[in-house]
A and B are shown apart, each in its own frame.
Chain A
Amino acid sequence: MRRRRPRRRPRIWRVTILALATLYFLGPLAASIRFSLVQSNGKDGLGNYAQVFHDQVLANALWTSLELAGLTTAVMLLLMVPTVVWVRLRLPRVALVVETVSVLPIVIPPIVMGAGLAELQLHAGAGLDTVLFQSSLTALTPFYVILALPFAYRSLDVGVRAIDLRTLVEAARSLGAGWFTVILRVIVPNMRTAVLTAVSLTVALVLAEVVIAGTLLYDTYPVELVNQSQEQVGLAVALSVISLLLTWLLLFSFTFIGTRRRRRSAIFGRPAGLWGGNP
């Protein structure tokens, strides 16, 4: 369709911008990897990576973060899958309201959420205090679910809209399935990709969230990473390289499985994890 223009000028600017972009974007990545390979004794080697497994404080923090990620994902799915299905099925008129409410947390920066929680912690009465703020799990999970809402809603809604929801539900119901069975065994398997996308984005969010946990002084993995960087930069960079690779693997293994058959330009557009991406 597009005619190739015989002029040379466009080629030059294209090559220039692409070369500069490659340098700027790959430079810090390469530097991270190179930097993490310099051991604390000054020699090159995998010492920083080996040390990861010997650091008890880090291991504990990582375990806390993994627990948080699992719990947040579970609550998010329990809350959002039935809601999204129900809204599309029975309350299409309020779909816009639910969507708006789900997107609302985007307007609230993590630091403001953290400030609100710090204040809540300060003023909480005995009852609320002991229930909510007794551990990092109970204190952070409910609010991480809120932070995950915008993109969890978006990906689940896309999934629900892509299937013939009404037919599936009515078929299952008329065969005697209860709502629990309908959702778990009919709807969820049909929107696997959407569910997996929502899960991977939520997990990525929780594993990277540092602002709220840092403000409330909970020792999660990213917070511990920042603390470590004060003393052992090499170790911290090595860890961030690992977590970076894991996050990308997590985010894009699911996304690419799902979009392989679709048009490639499906990649572009507003990324689901904006703001959730912990910039």
Chain B
Amino acid sequence: VGGVAVLDRSASGGPAARTRRGALRGPWLGILPFALYVLLFLGLPLYEVVYGAITTSGGSLTWYNFSQTFREPYTSDFLSSLRIALETAAIGGFFGVWLACAVVASPPHSPLRRIVGSGAAVLAYFAGVPLAFAFIATLGRYGELTTILQHLGINLNDTSFTVSSLTGVELAYVYFQVPLMVLLVTPALEGLRTEWREAATGLGASTFGYVRHVAGPVLAPAVLGAVLLLFGNAFAAYATAYALVGDTVQLVPGTIQNLMSGNVLVDENNIGLALGLEMVIVIAFVMVGYALLQRRAGRWLR
């Protein structure tokens, strides 16, 4: 292979030198299709969202749409979206770290590691419609767990719980948040060096002391970053809730879908677009925070 490289470096020197003037524009022409494609098909819907959010149906600039999103019922939708994202990120983060610790504490080549690793990779993809239906099959009116509980004398259908509710949505979200967390934090946990542990123990640290002063601070940015990503993931998610509850779900995406297909008042479309733009802003902040924390995490782990 090396011989070929040497050989054709001299061969390609000629034509490259001859077309020097064309070479200035040539390389940039190569990414033109990509640039145009993104500009058109990402730019167009994005433009519609931004334009609709800041104008009236007549096309004049307005703050009305945004000010409406800070009123009821939109504020409570936004708050419950944020709350669900926060809660499932916290729960998913907690159990994810715990599970990842259990995995990392096992010997490097144990079957347990392989099973949890591929299991998490598989389950992180288990979302959307199939996940919603799995929860209906489990906890729905005629679900398997509902039936089992009925035999044990607990009738879920008599309680206020239904799977087609925000609680059900939350339960379903945790299902993909935990495996995602395992996937995200395991490399960081694996990056903890045994030497650090030994050095800390050698200096007289207890397990708690090691976690408090060494492992904790080293892992904190990576763990926080992962939780932030879980938050964004749940905040943007809608497919599962859509299949589980439908567009009556009290979450921002459901409200947006309702407004967009409502056909009641034209101006309501624009409120939906303003809500959409606010979602984009929230997630942009999440991604920037994630990038910053990732950089910070890379200082000790890698």
Contacts and interface: CB of A to CB of B under 8 A. Distances in A.
Given A36-B137, A215-B261, A279 B49 contact: no
Interface stretch (B63-71, B72-80, B212-220, B229-237): B229-237
Contacts of A101: 38
Contacts of A211: 238-239, 242, 253, 257
B256 A112 contact: yes
Interface residue tally of chain B, by bracket?
Answer: 35 or more
Give the interface centre of B1, B44, B130, B253 by most chain A CB atoms within 10 Å: B130
Given A2-B194, A111-B238, A210 B272 contact: no
A135 B88 CA distance: 38
B117 interface: yes
Nearest to A273: B125
Contacts of A118: 260-261, 269
A192 interface: no
Contacts of B211: none
A21 B123 CA distance: 12
Contact of B175 (A25, A209, A251): A25
Interface string A192-208: 00000000000010001
A214 to B, nearest CB: 6
A118 B144 CA distance: 39
Contacts of B124: 271, 273-274, 277
Contacts of A114: 257, 260
Contact of A111 (B27, B52, B276, B277): B276
A158 interface: no
A43 interface: no
Contacts, number: 304
B83 interface: no
A14 B257 CA distance: 43
A35 B28 contact: no
Interface of B: 1, 4-5, 7-9, 11-12, 26-28, 30-31, 33-34, 37-38, 40-42, 44-49, 52, 95, 98-99, 102, 105-108, 112-114, 116-131, 133-138, 140, 142-145, 173, 175-176, 178-180, 182-184, 186-187, 190, 194, 229, 233-240, 242-243, 253, 256-257, 260-261, 269, 272-273, 276-277, 279-280, 283-284, 287
Minimum-distance CB pairs A-B, first 5: A116-B45, A35-B137, A109-B236, A279-B237, A174-B8
Interface of A: 1-2, 10, 13-14, 17-18, 21, 24-25, 27-32, 34-36, 79-80, 82-83, 86-87, 90-91, 94, 98, 101, 104-120, 122-123, 142-143, 145-146, 149, 164, 166-167, 170-171, 173-174, 204, 208-211, 214-215, 217, 222, 225-226, 229, 233, 236-237, 240-241, 243-244, 247-248, 251-252, 255, 264-265, 267-271, 273-275, 277-279
